[in-house]
Amino acid sequence: MMRRARVLSVSALLLAGAIGIISSTQTWLEATLRAGGDPLPVPGAAAIPVLAPLSLAVLALGGALSIVGVVLRYVFAVLSVLAGGILLWLTGTVLFTRPTSSVASTVTTATGISGQEGVARLVADITPTPWPAVTLVAWVLLLAGGMFTLVTARIWRRVGRRYDTETAAAHRTTDGPVDAVDSWDELSRGEDPTAPPSAPARGADEP
């Protein structure tokens, strides 16, 4: 599993961010007014205004996490945990307490009445859809991915170094023309790419 640490961490962040983006456009709550009529659908972006921006940030973190060095891995992991904690708390608040503030913008748009007290007097009931629960699971996944990255970030570095060493060894033992990339790699290792390959040493019993 440790060999797949990079894939697991990056996948967790990307999946959580994608679910957050999709969820921001879906109906999270249905607000029933005292005056009657059909319930007002409240999308995730209206229930939590920072849902879409933070989900985009999580997607960006997941994409960048796959290519950055070990120091930035720790930085991005901490940011992922912070974002996951904030989003988990906000989503849990909407799902379990259903505050009037989560439907205020939608009710104001529909009725023209603003203000916390005015909206509260209009709203008879707030019913959640499955989307807040689905998104809550995504933030748990985000937290797990961030913490897993904190634990395994240095292992990624070792795997990368071993790969680089094996690749360099393969280049040194490969006969034939050397392209520009190989030449640059050899120069970075202190070798002369223009030097002819050394002949193998002969044994004492060879003529």
Identify residue 7 by its one-letter amino acid code: V
Work out the mean pLDDT of the chain and round it to a whole number.
Answer: 83
53: tokens are 């921006």
Radius of gyration of the chain (CA): 28
Q: Is the pLDDT of residue 141 over 90?
A: yes
Q: Is the pLDDT of residue 207 over 80?
A: no
Strand ranges, E, within 81-134:
123-128
Q: Is the pLDDT of residue 188 over 90?
A: no
* Whether the Cβ atoms of residue 138 and residue 22 lie closer than 8 Å to each other: no
CB half-sphere exposure, 197, CA atoms < 13 A? 11
Q: What is the mean pLDDT of residues 177-187?
A: 52
Report d(CA 168, CA 162) in Å as an integer: 10
Cross-strand bridge partners of residue 123: 33
What's the pLDDT at 1? Answer: 59
What's the pLDDT at 44? Answer: 96
Give the 3-state secondary structure of residue 42. strand
Q: How confident is the model at residue 181 (pLDDT cuts 50, 70, 90)?
A: very low
What's the pLDDT at 198? Answer: 54
170: tokens are 């393969």
Pick one of 1.20.1150, 2.60.120, 1.20.140, 1.10.10 as the CATH number of 2-161.
1.20.140
pLDDT in tens, 91-106: 999 999 999 999 999 9
Q: Is the pLDDT of residue 66 over 80?
A: yes
Q: How confident is the model at residue 116 (pLDDT cuts 50, 70, 90)?
A: confident
What's the pLDDT at 155? Answer: 85
pLDDT in tens, 38-57: 899 999 999 999 999 999 99
Task: Please state, for a pLDDT cut of 70, what percent of the chain lies above it.
Answer: 74
What's the pLDDT at 35? Answer: 84
DSSP state of 101: G
Q: How confident is the model at residue 204 (pLDDT cuts 50, 70, 90)?
A: very low
Domain boundaries, the chain: 2-161
Residue 69 neighbours by CB under 8 Å, 6+ apart: 157
List phi, psi (to 5°) of 203: -75, 165
End-to-end C-alpha distance for the chain, whole angstroms: 53
What's the pLDDT at 22? Answer: 97
Residue 8 neighbours by CB under 8 Å, 6+ apart: 1, 145, 148
What's the pLDDT at 137? Answer: 97
* Whether the Cβ atoms of residue 148 and residue 9 lie closer than 8 Å to each other: yes
